Amino acid sequence: MDPFEQLPACLGAAGWLAPGETRGPPLPALEDEEGPRLPEGLPPVVDAHVHLFPDRVFEAIWRWFEQYGWPIRYKLHTPQVLSFLLSRGVHRVVALHYAHKPGMARFLNTYMAEVVRAEPRVLGLATVLPGEAGAEDILAEAFAAGLKGVKLHCHVQCFAPDAPALHEVYAACARAGKPLVLHAGREPASPHYSCDVHALCSAERVERVLEDHPDLRLCIPHLGADEFDAYARLLERHDNLWLDTTMALAGYFPLTPPRRLLEVRPERILYGTDFPHLPYAWDRELRRLLELGLDDEVEAGILGQNALRLFEGC
């Protein structure tokens, strides 16, 4: 059976909800100005959160966004995604994907491995559906094919970060020395997912994972939105936690992370964008980050060095 048949609506992502807000029509596009390339003089920039999928999966995600999320400004397939970013000065990209049903992960991982072989500036991650038969073998094959870690998505795949089915995945990553990027923050949330993500996700559940798997290097996207203060405390307490900035600094959603979250352990913060699934300019997140006026060493780490240390040696 073709694993891409009957792709469900839950493949997408929705926007942050303000307290008491309910999801209505899709959020607006910003139509903001974009730069032609990265500013001169920056240290190497690594976008640590770029999505790459086979064409049909990309197109299913776009349909979901158009109905429930926001207008996607950059409807680009994988070769165009990479050409767009790399030609504008991005040094490396960390490429992510996720499987929503059993039998899909191997196809996606094979696809990602082919992308990585064709473009060495891509640090590709694997995926698996937690609890599916042969999950450890699927990951072992992906790591042998050159993939640098694993991406899981609690909202799309409908699991809690501390669910029993995750333990074999965490253990496999720890044994192989591979980091895991886990969308386990409560936002972006949507009633159009197949599960209640606020019931599944919390910083408290993530802390249990960090405690139970101290050898697992875990990265939480979106700066842990919307529990920013809780994730700042987790960074202080746990040496196996990283966060990425994806869509949290761009000023598109009604929640603003505190500056302290970037400064409590800046060596654990990665710059990421969610490209190509953006309703605004590709460099908006980066421009907002540069406007913070962080220390040069801190800024260089967030822009790229932290991601290279986490992923490149895997």
Tokens of 9: 């609506």
pTM to 2 decimal places: 0.92
How far apart are the C-alpha atoms of 97 and 57, rounded to whole Å? 10
What's the number of domains the chain is made of?
A: 1
Those residues whose C-beta lies under 8 Å from the C-beta of residue 38, and which sit 6 or more positions away, are 45, 88, 89, 90, 283, 286
- Selection from 10, 300, 158 nearest residue 309 by Cα: 300
Q: Over the chain (314 residues), what is each successive 10-residue block's mean pLDDT?
A: 38 44 70 97 98 96 90 97 98 96 95 98 97 96 98 88 95 98 83 76 96 98 95 98 97 92 98 98 98 97 98 77
Write the single-letter amino acid at 155. Answer: H
Residue 8 neighbours by CB under 8 Å, 6+ apart:
100, 194
Q: Is residue 28 part of a domain?
A: no
**Is residue 188 situated within a structural domain?**
yes
Residue 67, domain member (yes or no): yes
Q: How far is CA 185 from CA 21, 46, 198, 212, 223, in A?
A: 18, 22, 9, 18, 8
SS3 11: helix
In this structure, is residue 18 part of a structural domain? no
What is d(CA 116, CA 94) in angstroms, rounded to the nearest whole number? 10
Q: Are 247 and 15 in contact (CB under 8 A)?
A: no
Give the pLDDT confidence score for residue 187 in this predicted structure: 76
Do the beta carbons of residue 93 and residue 47 sit within 8 Å? Answer: yes
Residue 30 domain flag: no
Domain residues for the domain of 103 are 46-312
What's 226's domain CATH number?
A: 3.20.20.140
Q: 7 lies in a domain? A: no
